[in-house]
Structure 1
Amino acid sequence: MPKIVDREEMQHAILDSAMKVYAKRGYHAATIADVAKEAGLGKGTLYLYFKNKEAIALAMVERHFKGMEDRFFQTESPETLDAFARSLSETMNIPDEQARFIRVFFEVFGPSFASDTFSAKVADFFDRLGSHYADHIRHLQAIGQIRTDADAAKLGRVFASLIDGMILHKGLFSISSARHDALRREALEMFVRGLVA
């Protein structure tokens, strides 16, 4: 009887293997054969799941942004400014595996930012994230936790940009977890002091 393989599970395993290969060898130097070997598959089997290296890279990016959406957008409105700051800090604290992906992302898709379509897709994610935080800020303003003269929409986008910058910093510059923790703490303490009602 043939072994039944969960297609989605296998695709994730291949993407994990590709991430390891791309992190070690670089996207452009790596081959489909390298990815297949890391995944413990033959090249032909790998092609049943992804038609080429570009399809693997695109799936990696889609999975990355889906993971970010699941993580960033599931938070409910906080009831205190301190709880909001803790939530932002947790969002900035990406696992090392995700941080390593950032270099691969820019190696593969850096030139794509010249494309209006690609840039618009990434910008849309951060627009939605900024709106999500703006809703939290408005809620905190309504319950007296944040100054009412703060522009919630602009501040929401500032927080989205801060999170993006902190995550990029960790991934691109291999900042240690201890240093990254200190940077997150200092940035958020500064914002909290400026927002207190």
Structure 2
Amino acid sequence: MPKIVDRQLMQDTILDAAMRTFARKGYHAATIGDVALEAGLGKGTLYLYFKSKEAMTEAMADRHFTALSQRWMDDGECATLDDFLESLRSLADIPAEHAQFIPVFFEIFGPSFASQTFATRVESFFDRLGRHFAARIAGLQDKGEIAPHHDPASLGRALASMLDGLILHRGLFAISAKRQKAMIKEVLRLFDDGLRANRP
């Protein structure tokens, strides 16, 4: 009887192996054979799941943005401005192992930004994140937590951009965890001062 393989699990195993291989050897130097070896598979088996390194890269991008969507947009209800600021703090304060893969991400996906299709995919993610933040802001305005003169749509998209910048700087410039936490603290203090309604 043929062995039953969980296709999604096998794809994830291959993509995890690809990320480790690209981090170690560099994306352009790594081959499909290197990825297969890292995954403990034959090249023929790997080709059943991904026809090329480019197809693997597309799948990695899809998985990356799906994971970000789940982490950044499934954060529950924010009943107060304090809840909202705490959710932003949690999102911006990424672990060291996540930060270490940001340069790898840009080596892998950097050239893809020349593709309008890929750039649109990334822009779409940040548009969705901006709308998510905008909905949070509008809800907090309705509760009297955030001053009414702020434009939720513009502010939400600006928050998405700023959060992205904090995370990128942590990974690209090897900012220490201590300095990152201090930067996040100051940014959130600025938001608190600027957003809170009826500040005494």
What CA distance in whole angstroms lies between the structure 2 residues aligned with 1:57 and 1:154? Answer: 32
Aligned mates of 2:97, 2:39 — CA distance in 1: 17
Preserved CA contact (<8 Å) 1:61 1:105: no
Residue 79 (structure 2) pairs with residue 79 (structure 1): yes
Corresponding residue number in structure 2 for 1:165: 165
Within 2, Cα distance between the matches of 1:52 and 1:97?
Answer: 27
Match of 2:52 in 1: 52
TM-score (norm: length of structure 2): 0.91
d(CA) in 1 for partners of 2:176, 2:32: 32
Of the structure 1 ranges 171-180 and 154-163, higher mean CA displacement relative to structure 2 is found in 171-180
Secondary structure, in 3 states, of the residue corresponding to 2:193?
A: helix
CA distance in 2, matches of 1:8, 1:116: 28
Report the equivalent of 2:9: 9
8 Å CA contact 1:137, 1:152 repeated in 2: yes
1:76 positional shift: 3.1
Q: Deviations over 1:134-156 (max 9, x none)?
A: 11111111111111111111110
**CA RMSD of the aligned region, Å?**
1.6
Count, aligned residues: 197
Deviations 1:77-116 (A, max 9, x none): 3111111000011122334443333222221222222333
Aligned to 2:27: 27
Q: Distance in 2 between matches of 1:117 and 1:45?
A: 29
Contiguous gaps of at least 5 residues in structure 1: none
Unaligned runs of 5+ in 2: none
Give distance in 1, aligned partners of 2:35 and 2:172: 23
- In structure 2, distance between residues paired with 1:56 and 1:96: 25
Identity of aligned residues (%): 57
